[in-house]
Amino acid sequence: MSAARTGIRRRTWLLGALGATGALVLGWSVTPPRARLGDGSEWPAGSEGVALNGWIQIRPDGHVVLAMPRSEMGQGVHSALAQLAAEELDMPLVKLHLQQASGERLYGNVSMFVAALPLHPRDKHADPQPVTVRVSQWMVSKIARELGINATGGSSSVADAWEPVRLAAASARALLLDAAARRWQVPRDALRVSDGVVQGPAGQSAHWGELVADATGRKPESVQLKAVADFRLIGQTVPRADVPAVVFAQAQFGLDVRLPDMRFAALRMAPAIGGTLAQMDSAAALTMPGVEQVLPLPAADGSTAGFAVVARSWWQAEQAAERVQAQWQAPTAAADSAQIEAALRAAADSDQGFVFHERGDSDAVWNAPTGDNRRLEAQYSAPYLAHATLEPMNATARVLDGRVEVWAPTQVPQLAQAAAARAAGVATERVTLHVTRLGGGFGRRLDVDVVSQAVAVAQATQGKPVQLIWSRQQDFTHDFYRPAMASRLQAQLGADGLPEVLRIRSAGDAIAPRWMARVLPALSGPIDTPDKTTAEGLFDLPYAIPHQRMAHVATRHPVPVGFWRSVGHSHNAFASECFVDELAALAGQDPMDYRLQLLQGQPRYTRVLTTVRSQSQWGQPLPAGQARGVALHESFGSVVAMVVHIERPTDAPLRVRRVDVAIDCGFAVNPDNVRAQMEGSVVFALTAALYGVVRFDQGAAQVSNFPDQPLLPLALAPEVHTYIEQSLAPPTGVGEPGVPPLAPALANAWAALTGQRLRQLPLRVPV
């Protein structure tokens, strides 16, 4: 019965998410999916050379340009996608260049939307997959192709590009080889390619640029992707091509944009989130050097109302903003952390919520009489967190002659373009968007509030471009925060010490419907469908427990929430993996061995856990004052096992000495970049685990800068050792999967050292 109920819930969720009648969905679903290859007409504007499809363009000198649909924020996506294209074109990376795409539908991210389906790993990885899984993935894939939303998020960039970028490059290669075969009157299989140069059997040679004119307007005779055994670039550690430009300050970030006659703007928003500007006196500010205007700034796309000061430099504008006498109107419902935390705890203890996963009959087993020593209950919690990107929020805009031009570090160019159009009251076609590099994203730049604000200010500057920059204080106090969370976990052990039943109920705000209402208002409805991000990392555990029930209570508090690096996994893994450690302790078993017993028939998980056990020297004696902790978690398609080695001499602060990370991320396109992402994830997650918390009082965030929510000092950064499992499966996520296991592994190490179980983030330990 429970399996049937779960199937009904999933079908209900899917139809609600699609928002269409059954007949319409049925008729539309049998049509072929939208192709992702495109043609030359879809190439981004302002290009040179000849486009052979929507992704690949050939220059006369034989160099190749790849349309780059994803935003570079340090994760290495520009290099990874370049490797995919250069591999299939048989050319060196130095001859491949990138042109940033904007809002073209061709480059919509399909994988990110398919990954949003609330599918359990045992169903998703089953062979064969259940019909409901295949149908839901097919439908959402089609919807994503039709929407064509170009987004960089969900650790999906390489996974999404794996097929279309390689296919586009292989198709271009086939067209060019066909042209060479016709020119030299030889069979195509008699040709050889090296470094972008085609060689014929009689010594003929021509580079791609010399063949492209003969290749246009045709279709390739046959296209075949390279076999893994023939890869020369994919899977190799190659230097990232963008590093020199960043090191020598040649790369353009949002803050680097400079235009003739530019103005700069600073802003102040109501201290209480959701507040309004009652009145202001700007006389003193307008007398200051360089200051030209003080403008009220309405709320837009999720932002809080305030005012902006326009001046000839940002520092002049920022100083003048301090002189504006503003009176603020507080919102009716003001955020208060104490009240929110109490409400979350009560919701997690209730009998409410949407059931994301159910197996067996957990109620019957749990309600049966048993000895208390075989049961364990625990409540875990996590706070709101700010993104704190090192490049503050910014955008540059110019409004002139009914047209809008925007320069922005954004993860969603298409949605930023739409936001600019809404702000200016023009058609989207009259907005030109330039995507710059991002000085950190972490999900914050999936929102478009700063773009709307910049355009609103630019409308008042008589055609002059204006760059709006948030101060660090405005950034911390007006973020779209990671939601606060509470969860209640209950388990009962069998005679062998392994859990017979696992019941989890979590509570917290749903991100997806709030984000949709901000950036995609046309697709946002009055009723929220269940949001996978609320329960991921709880409902999709890999452990073989006969009776399970995982539900989530979707709350709605005044704090605006958004996608934070690894989203729900970032706090849910803390609860689930600490709880598994507690169960192992209750059973009197080693936590590593305990997990391996629960992973029978799960080779991916077993493999990474076995690797990290060996490499971390798990089980080897440690000196007094040292301990290790382990955590295992799948997110964004990748499985990560992590061991954290800590040291705390008597009466001394905690020190994380070493972190061992084993990851199965499918085929690793650039192994060195995978290691870099794991290292960055460890530092990012360790910062959050030790210091990260944002509290609210009377609607205002009680943090304003890094002293309130500090970064991990360099002196406390641990050694990180990464071990990549070899796999021939398509690539999965890398940018986020290294974050979730850190906090539970650290908390488990602390428990091993001190006997103290920490169930609340941030971890209250001496550092």
Pairing type for strands 64-68 and 96-100 reads parallel
Query: DSSP letter string over 192-230?
Result: EEETTEEE-TTS-EEEHHHHHHHHTT---S---PPPGGG
- Residues 195 and 91: beta-carbon distance below 8 Å: yes
- Residues 49 and 42: beta-carbon distance below 8 Å: no
Q: Is residue 44's pLDDT more than 80?
A: no
Average pLDDT for residues 35-50, to the nearest whole number?
80
DSSP state of 255: G
How far apart (Å, rounded) are the C-alpha atoms in residues 82 and 97? 8
Residue 641 in tokens = 């096992």
Q: What is the CATH number of domain 254-332+393-469?
A: 3.30.365.10
Confidence of residue 601 (pLDDT cuts 50, 70, 90): confident
Q: Is residue 3's pLDDT more than 60?
A: no
Q: Is residue 120's pLDDT more than 60?
A: yes
Residue 40 in tokens = 């030359």
The answer to whether the Cα torsion of 744, 750, 756, 758 is positive or negative is: negative
Q: What is the CATH number of domain 337-385+481-754?
A: 3.30.365.10
How far apart (Å, rounded) are the C-alpha atoms in residues 695 and 683? 22
pLDDT tens-digit series, residues 136-178: 999 999 999 998 999 999 999 999 999 999 999 999 999 999 9
pLDDT tens-digit series, residues 51-79: 999 999 999 999 999 999 999 999 999 99
The predicted structure's pLDDT at residue 123: 87
What residue spans of 463-558 are helical by DSSP H?
A: 472-477, 511-519, 532-535
> Which are the contacts of 155, defined by CB distance < 8 A and separation ≥ 6?
635, 636, 637, 638, 732, 733, 734, 735, 736, 737
How far apart (Å, rounded) are the C-alpha atoms in residues 234 and 68? 18
Question: Which run of H or of E encompasses 136?
Answer: helix 131-147
The predicted structure's pLDDT at residue 507: 98
> Which are the contacts of 671, defined by CB distance < 8 A and separation ≥ 6?
235, 236, 237, 724
Pairing type for strands 263-269 and 466-469 reads parallel
Average pLDDT for residues 561-575, to the nearest whole number?
98
How far apart (Å, rounded) are the C-alpha atoms in residues 587 and 594? 9
DSSP state of 702: S
Give me the chain's average pLDDT, please.
93
Q: Is residue 349's pLDDT more than 60?
A: yes
**Percent composition of the chain: helix, strand, coil (DSSP 3-state, to 5):** 35, 20, 40
How far apart (Å, rounded) are the C-alpha atoms in residues 399 and 404? 5
pLDDT tens-digit series, residues 519-565: 998 888 888 889 999 999 999 999 999 999 999 999 999 999 999 99
- Residues 731 and 663: beta-carbon distance below 8 Å: no
Residue 474 in tokens = 């405005």
How far apart (Å, rounded) are the C-alpha atoms in residues 393 and 445? 8
The residues of the chain that CATH labels 3.30.365.10 are 40-108+159-247, 254-332+393-469, 337-385+481-754
What's domain 40-108+159-247's architecture? 2-Layer Sandwich (3.30)
The predicted structure's pLDDT at residue 27: 53
Q: What are φ and ψ of residue 330, in 5° steps?
A: -70, 150
How far apart (Å, rounded) are the C-alpha atoms in residues 627 and 645? 6
The predicted structure's pLDDT at residue 45: 65
Q: Is residue 18's pLDDT more than 50?
A: no
Cα distances from 240 to residues 77, 83, 125, 518, 698, in angstroms, run: 10, 10, 33, 35, 47
Average pLDDT for residues 465-473, to the nearest whole number?
98
DSSP state of 402: T
Q: Is residue 447's pLDDT more than 60?
A: yes
Residue of 466 and 38 predicted with greater confidence: 466
How far apart (Å, rounded) are the C-alpha atoms in residues 50 and 543? 53
Q: Is residue 261's pLDDT more than 80?
A: yes
How far apart (Å, rounded) are the C-alpha atoms in residues 226 and 231? 7
What is the reported pTM?
0.94
The predicted structure's pLDDT at residue 63: 96
Length of the chain: 767
pLDDT tens-digit series, residues 385-428: 999 999 999 999 999 999 999 999 999 999 999 999 999 999 99
Q: Is residue 8's pLDDT more than 60?
A: no
